[in-house]
Structure 1
Amino acid sequence: MKQWNGTSAVALTALLLGSTATRADITANEVWQGMSDYYADLGQQVETGSMQTTGDTLVITDAVFASETPEGKFSATIPEIRLRELGDGRVEVTMSEEIPVQVLTKPETGETVDMGMKVTHSGLSMIVSGDMADTAYDITAPEMAFIIDGMKVDGADVPLQVNATLTGNTGSYRMLTGTSREVTSDMSADKVDFEVGATDPKGNGTFSASGSLTGLSGTSFAVIPEGVDMTDMNAALQAGMNMKGEFTYSGGGYVMDFQDKEESFSAQSTGEGGKLHFEMSKDGLSYGGEGQNSDISMQASAFPLPIDLSVAETAFNLSLPVSKGDEAQPFGLLLKFVDLGVSEGIWSMFDPSSQLPRDPATLIVDVTGAAKLLINIFDPAEAESIADQPPGELEKIDINQLQLSVAGAELSGKGAMTFDNSMGMPKPLGALDLQLIGGNTLIDKLVAMGFVPADQAAGAKMMMGLFAIPTGEDTLTSKIEFKEDGGIYANGQRIQ
Structure 2
Amino acid sequence: MHRPLATSAIALILAAGPVFADVTPNEVWQSLQDSYEDMGYQVDVGTEEGSGDTLTLTDVTLTAAEDDSTDMTLIMPRIEFTATGDGGVRSVIDGQMTLEMRDTGPEGEEIGFAMTMDAPGNETISTGTLEAMQHDFTMPTLMIEGRALDDVNTVPVTATLTNVTGTQTVTTATDGSATQTGQGRAEAVEMQITATGPSPTLEDPTLEDPALEDDMTNGAGDDAATEGTATAEPAPDATDSFGATLRIADLTFEGEGTTPAGEVSFGSQPSEALKAGFSGRGSFATGEMTGQFTSDVAALEGGSSQSSGDFSAASGTLAVSMSEEGLTYEGSTTDMQTSLTSTDMPFPISYVAALNSFRLAMPVVASEAEQPFSLRYVLEGLTLDDAIWQAMDPESTLPRDPASLSIDLEGQTVLTQDFMDPDYMEGTATGPDGEPQMPFLPRSLSIKDISLDAVGASMQMAGDLTFGDDPSQPVGTVEGTFSGINTLLDRLVQMGVVPQEQLMGPRMMLAMFARPVEGNPDQLQTELEFREGGSIFANGQQIQ
TM-score range, shorter chain: over 0.9
- Residues 139-161 of structure 1: CA deviation (Å, up to 9, x unaligned): 1111111112x55435x9x7532
* CA shift digits 1:89-112 (9 cap, x unpaired): 110111214212223334474433
Q: Distance in 2 between matches of 1:153 and 1:353?
A: 51
Q: Quick one: which of 287, 290, 301 aligns to 1:250? A: 287
In structure 2, the partner of 1:359 is: 401
- 3-state SS, counterpart of residue 26 of structure 2: helix
Check conservation: 2:24, 2:53, Cα contact below 8 A: no
**Residue in structure 1 matching 2:41, options 44, 51, 54:** 44
**CA–CA distance in 2 between the matches of 1:10 and 1:113?**
17
Say if 2:476 is the partner of 1:430: yes
* Paired position in structure 1 for 2:511: 465
Equivalent position of 1:479 in the other structure: 527
Letter of the structure 2 residue corresponding to residue 411 of structure 1: M
Q: Which amino acid aligns with 1:330?
A: P
Partner SS for 1:311: strand
8 Å contact kept, 1:25–1:88: no
> Residue 22 of structure 2 contacts residue 28 of structure 2 at CA under 8 Å; is this kept in 1?
no
* 1:144-192 CA-partner distances (Å, limit 9, x unpaired): 11112x55435x9x75321111111111112222332222111111110
Q: CA deviation at 1:384?
A: 2.8
Preserved contact between residue 2 and residue 43 of structure 1 (Cα < 8 Å): no
Do 2:77 and 2:95's aligned partners in 1 also have CA atoms closer than 8 Å? Answer: no
Q: Which residue of 1 aligns with 2:374?
A: 332
Change in Cα spacing, 1:25 to 1:34, as seen in structure 2 (3 Å) is closer
1:420 match: secondary structure: coil
One-letter amino acid of the counterpart of residue 429, structure 2:
E
Please identify, of 239-248 and 479-488, the stretch whose mean Cα deviation from structure 2 is larger: 479-488
Q: Could you tell me which residue of structure 1 aligns to residue 251 of structure 2?
A: 216
AA matched with 1:239: A
Match of 2:430 in 1: 385
Please give the alpha-carbon distance, in whole angstroms, between the structure 1 residues aligned to 2:150 and 2:474.
49
Q: SS state of the match for residue 80, structure 1?
A: strand
Greater strand proportion = 1
**Which among 185, 199, 206 is matched to residue 196 of structure 2?**
199
1:289 and 2:335 aligned: no
Greater mean alpha carbon deviation, residues 461-470 or residues 41-50 = 461-470
What's the counterpart of residue 11 of structure 1?
11
Aligned-partner Cα distance in 2 for 1:336–1:363: 6
What secondary structure sits across from 2:474 in the alignment? Answer: strand
Give the AA of the match of 1:393: L
Amino acid in structure 2 at the alignment position of 1:98 = Q
Tell me: CA distance 1:236–1:159, structure 2 relative to 1, closer, same or farther (3 Å). Answer: closer
How far 1:486 moved relative to its partner? 5.3
2:168 aligns with 173
> Contact 1:159–1:199 (CA<8 Å) still a contact in 2?
no
Q: SS state of the match for residue 436, structure 1?
A: strand
User: For 2:127, which of 126, 129, 136 is the aligned residue?
Assistant: 129
1:76-91 equivalent positions in 2, closer than 5 A? 76-91=74-89
Shift of 1:467: 1.7
Find out whether 1:225 has 2:260 as its counterpart. yes
Structure 2 residue identity aligned to 1:255: Q
Query: What is the distance in 1 between the residues matched to 2:115 and 2:94?
Result: 15
Give the corresponding residue for 2:209.
Answer: none
Change (3 A) 1:482 1:112: closer
Moved more, 174-183 or 321-330: 174-183
Corresponding residue number in structure 2 for 1:306: 348
- Structure 2 partner of 1:239: 276
Structure 1 residue identity aligned to 2:156: Q
| Deviation digits for residues 282-324 of structure 1 (CA, Å, limit 9, x no counterpart) | 2211112110000011001111221111111101222111222
Identity of aligned residues (%): 31
Give the Å deviation of 1:31: 1.1
Partner residue, 1:396: 444
Q: Quote how far apart the aligned CAs of 1:378 are.
A: 1.7
8 Å CA contact 1:469, 1:477 repeated in 2: yes
SS across alignment from 2:503: helix
- What CA deviation, in whole Å up to 9, does each residue of 1:212-236 have, x standing for no partner? 0011111111222221033122222
The amino acid that maps onto 2:297 is D
Deviation at 1:403, TM superposition (A): 0.9
Shift of 1:258: 1.4
| Distance in structure 2 (CA, Å) of the matches to 1:199 and 1:36 | 41
Change (3 A) 1:485 1:119: closer
How far off its partner does 1:400 sit? Answer: 1.1
Superposed displacement of residue 7, structure 1:
4.6
**Can you give the 5+ residue segments of structure 1 that lack an aligned partner in the other structure?**
none
C-alpha contact (below 8 Å) 1:8/1:42 kept by paired residues: no
Q: Residues 419-475 of structure 1, C-alpha deviation per residue, up to 9 Å, x if partnerless? A: 233xx4564232111111100010111112111132432211122122212112411
Q: Secondary structure at the match of 2:271?
A: helix
Instruction: Evaluate the alpha carbon distance shift between residue 299 and residue 133 of structure 1 in structure 2; reply closer, same or farther with a 3 A threshold.
Output: same
Q: How many residues end up aligned between the 2 structures?
A: 487
Given that residues 157 and 194 in structure 2 are in contact (C-alpha distance below 8 angstroms), is that contact kept between their aligned partners in structure 1? yes
Name the SS of the counterpart of 1:122 in structure 2.
coil
Q: Is the 8 A contact 2:161 2:190 kept in 1?
A: yes
Please give the secondary structure, in 2, of the residue aligned with 1:40.
helix
Give, in whole Å, the separation in 2 of the partners of 1:359 and 1:115: 46
Q: Cα gap change, 1:144/1:51 in structure 2, threshold over 3 Å: closer, same or farther?
A: same
CA RMSD in angstroms, aligned pairs only: 2.3
Shift in Å, 1:252: 0.8
1:363-378 mapped onto 2 (5 Å cutoff): 363-378=405-420
* Aligned-partner Cα distance in 2 for 1:338–1:304: 27
Specify the code of the residue in structure 2 equivalent to 1:171.
G
Q: Which residue of 1 aligns with 2:187?
A: 190
Q: What is the letter of the counterpart of residue 378 of structure 1?
A: M
Mean alpha-carbon deviation: is it higher for 336-345 or for 486-495? 486-495
Taking a change above 3 Å as real, the CA distance of residues 381 and 405 of structure 1, as seen in their structure-2 partners, is closer
Q: 1:307 to 1:107 in 2, by over 3 A?
A: closer
2:172 and 2:278 map into 1 onto residues whose CA distance is 14
- Determine the C-alpha separation between the residues in 2 that align with 1:456 and 1:186: 61
Match of 2:494 among 435, 444, 448: 448
Residue 25 (structure 1) shift: 6.3
Matches within 5 A, 1:345-356: 345-356=387-398
Moved more, 385-394 or 33-42: 385-394
Distance in 2 of aligned mates of 1:389 and 1:485: 22
Are the counterparts in 1 of residues 360 and 374 from structure 2 also a CA contact under 8 Å? Answer: yes
Please give the alpha-carbon distance, in whole angstroms, between the structure 2 residues aligned to 1:120 and 1:7: 20
Give the superposition deviation at 1:210. 0.5
Deviation at 1:68, TM superposition (A): 5.4
